Amino acid sequence: MREVISTGNELAAKAAVEAGARFFGGYPITPSSEVMHEASDLLPKVGGVAIQMEDEIGGISAALGASMAGVKSFTATSGPGISLKAEQIGLGFIAEIPLVIINVMRGGPSTGLPTRVSQADIGQAQYPTHGDYASITLCAGSLTECYTQTVRGFNLAETYMTPVFVLLDETIGHMHGKAELPDLEEVEASIVNRKRFDGDPKDYRPYDVPMNTPAVLNPMFEGYRYHVTGLHHGPTGFPTEDAEQCEFNIERLTGKINTVHLENNGLDDLPDYEEVLLDDAEVCIIAYGSIALGAFEAVHKLRAEGIKAGLFRPIMLWPSPINRLIELGEKFGDKIMVTELNMGQYSKEIERVIKRNDFTTLLKANGRPIAPAEMVAKVKEMM
């Protein structure tokens, strides 16, 4: 275990490099700029490249191009930058190009609150662009997770051949403190690389894969020919309007994530959520990201006052931990409080899954955090 003193943004960049990323393309935007700054310092030391493009669109386009050439790549931005990158994110989904997108959330919409904390990009992370697809979104809840969930993001991107979001926010991105990181040897042993086709190039058909299975895209410039397009495509990537093929494409794009997640109760062998003192709890607080740090403290304050509270913290927001949310709904009923820094974006998912809307919410969308004392007071109103 390594102990370091750093910020969340710097740890995300460090994680990317140690997970094998060798290209960063982006554009500075508050409060994510330090990810790019750190990447520009670290990548050249390991033979990588960090480039500031003319804007956010250029940044993600360069990163996608590097990924198609077989280089693990990432970009970083905040909500307005995701809006600008939306079209190219869609290309990443349909062409199945692995990419990690770090979003350090701030208040919105539009320019919003550039220097204030928010969790208002949760819905955007689920559907960042038009069309049908499934998104993978991880949300760091500590300085350590700014590192570990970024490493996980690269492994998931390479496994499922898709863009993966890693969400930080202004508070955790700029928080400066101690983080405990896994040893580098442990990280290197966990690294996942995309599958490759090693047969005769004449037989290479990257998109000719079974239902719920990712494409197999060999790096460009290595003798394996295929076409890359944002249009619906057939086995070799060339455009098609065949109704049967197009239907299969969409079912596979969504199924390789949503269906696999449900059938396997997860996309990998790492936890999709954390639970704190839920076994004997009478009330359940649901919180994620930096706000969960305050919720953890609130749970212990409530326990000290004789109220058996517990915490459920989603780590993988999308796909959501449906099976466990259903169990929590059945166990706690209306004794659930969801707290988040938006107007209830994840609360809507919880309502959809547990099929009830009588739980309590504690929401704030003015750029300020929610104090543990506010959570304690809200829970007491429920009892």
Long-range contacts of 375-382 (CB under 8 A, 24+ apart): 375/285, 375/294, 375/295, 375/298, 375/337, 375/339, 376/298, 376/301, 376/302, 376/305, 378/337, 378/339, 379/283, 379/285, 379/298, 379/302, 379/307, 379/309, 379/337, 380/307, 382/283, 382/334, 382/335, 382/337
3-state secondary structure of 325: helix
Q: Which two tokens stand for residue 121?
A: 């990009």
CA distance 346 to 307: 25
197 within 8 A of 15, measured Cβ to Cβ = no
The residues near 362 (Cβ < 8 Å, ≥ 6 apart) are 337, 338, 339, 370, 374, 375, 378
What is the structure's pLDDT at 352?
98
Alpha carbon distance 327, 348 (integer Å)? 17
Predicted local confidence at residue 107, as pLDDT: 95
Domains of the chain: 2-190 (3.40.50.970), 274-382 (3.40.50.920)
- What does the pLDDT read at residue 359? 98
CA dist 119 and 294 (Å) reads: 14
Contact 98, 157 (CB under 8 A): yes
The pLDDT assigned to 17 comes to 98
Question: How confident is the chain (383 residues) per 10-residue block, as mean pLDDT?
Answer: 97 98 98 98 98 98 98 98 98 98 97 96 97 97 98 98 98 97 97 97 97 97 94 97 97 98 96 98 98 98 98 98 98 98 98 97 98 98 93
The answer to whether residues 311 and 295 touch, using CB atoms and an 8 Å cutoff, is yes
CA-nearest of 50, 155, 162 to 96 is 162
Give the predicted TM-score (pTM) of the model.
0.97
Q: What is the pLDDT of residue 65?
A: 98
Distance CA 108, CA 119 (A): 9
Q: What is the per-residue pLDDT for 366?
A: 97
Strand segments, DSSP code E, in 287-329 are 309-314, 316-318
pLDDT at 373: 98
The token duo for 333 is: 């009923």
- State the pLDDT at residue 76: 98
